[in-house]
Amino acid sequence: MKKEIYALGIGHNTPVFIDLAEACGYKVKGLYHYNKDKTGQSDHGFKIIGSFDDLFSKDNLKGLNFLLTMGDNKIRASISEKIIKLEGQIPTLIHPTAIVSRFSNISDIGVYISPFSYIQADSIIGSNTIILSGVNISHTNKIGNCCFIAGGATIGAYTTIEDFVFVGQGALSISGKVPKIGQHSYIGARSLLTHEIPPFSVVAGSPAKIIKTITDE
């Protein structure tokens, strides 16, 4: 019998993560939307059974599994905190085609590893981090909590990515050259990283340069 899971946050990522959950043996029971007015409607063939307010007004979520489909790292962190406080579960999902070293350390809370990704030995991945398709996390890396690594990105060896970092499609960090990517940084698509990135930085280009500092966190 398939395990049941409820999906939160309806947007362009939702069917992507529903595919992942189903590939991992889960059955999606229903959707929760942030907008109460959407209750009773359907999305991709699944019924919207309530709003976030409806869900978090419950006394307890013990024994229930939840799929967080929002791409925004801060929103995902906030929703995760509320679910865990109510004793709900956010299972880690690893697609059957992903290759994950037995010497890696993957959080059991809300990590999503998509098809054809590769997590090499001695790498650590924190809770609520999303790794999309075709990502290569080289050996001896540490990925923080609530990060988003977009499709086709490569993180070279010996890099620490702090919490709340976004890495765009096809970005590449050179092994041994990027000791740290600071918290809340945004790495543009196809950026080539050759040096440490300070916290709250927006970088882009090849080689990547800091184009601005985020000031509203």
- Please give the Cα distance from 45 to 43 (Å, whole number): 5
Q: Which pair of structure tokens corresponds to residue 154?
A: 């490569």
3-class state of residue 75 by DSSP = helix
Q: Could you give all domains of the chain from N- to C-terminal order, each with its CATH number?
A: 3-85 (3.40.50.20), 93-213 (2.160.10.10)
Interval 185-202: pLDDT, tens: 999 999 999 999 999 999
Mean pLDDT of the chain: 96
* Residue whose entry in the numeric block shows the structure tokens 């229930």: 64
Q: Kindly give the pairing relationship between strand 42-43 and strand 46-51.
A: antiparallel
pTM: 0.95
Q: Greater confidence, 113 or 11?
A: 113
Task: Give the largest Cα separation in the chain, rounded.
Answer: 52
Q: Which pair of structure tokens corresponds to residue 44?
A: 């991709």
